[in-house]
Amino acid sequence: MRRGALPSRWFAETEMQVQFFDLDPMQIVWHGNYVKYLEVARCTLLDKIDYNYEQMKASGFAWPVIDMNLRYIGPAVFGQRLILRAEIVEYENRLKIDYLISDAASGKRLNRASTTQVAVDIASGEMCFMSPPVLFEKLGVSPA
């Protein structure tokens, strides 16, 4: 396990059904809507660790996404049930989350992605070069 990686217990999954308004003219999910699906998975994960966006703000930190990578493997279509999975893979200096979107019925992978977020002190507007203690506390780990 690489330094800063958490055990696989730091993941969350949720299920959703593809809606008509997410489709493009080719009748598949428009590529930009996968960003919305990542947010759904990320919020499920943040709720699981008890550090959602309101709690982040209350702790004095904003966590903007500074990098996002998506790899499209297969299309999703109207009515399809999807499993959205998010897993924290780094936390010491940044919050890196890996995602997997798959077909609920077959398990076939449709999209892999990752996001990187950094802590920003709300009062000063300055980026933190180490994650704040509140994140370590929520994850149940000690700072390095």
Which CATH number characterizes residue 57's domain?
Answer: 3.10.129.10
Q: 127 in a domain, yes or no?
A: yes
Residue 8: the pLDDT is 63
Query: If we measure between CA atoms, which residue out of 115, 138, 118 comes closest to residue 39?
Result: 115
Residue 111 lies in a domain: yes
Q: 10 Å Cβ neighbour count for 75? A: 16
Asked whether residue 2 is assigned to any structural domain, the reply reads no
pLDDT at 68: 98
Does a structural domain hold residue 40?
A: yes
- Burial of 99: CB neighbours in 10 Å, binned 0-12, 13-18, 19+: buried
Asked whether residue 1 is domain-assigned, the answer is no
Euclidean distance between CA atoms 90 and 127, whole angstroms: 17
pLDDT of residue 9: 75
pLDDT at 100: 98
Residues 6+ apart with CB under 8 A from 84: 13, 14, 15, 16, 37, 38, 40, 41, 44, 99, 100, 101
Does residue 4 fall inside a structural domain? Answer: no
Tens place of pLDDT for every residue, the chain, 144 residues?
A: 344 554 567 999 999 999 999 999 999 999 999 999 999 999 999 999 999 999 999 999 999 999 999 999 999 999 999 999 999 999 999 999 999 999 999 999 999 999 999 999 999 999 999 999 999 999 999 886
User: pTM higher than 0.75 for the full model?
Assistant: yes
Is the Cβ–Cβ distance between 30 and 24 less than 8 Å?
Answer: yes
Element (H, E) at 4: none
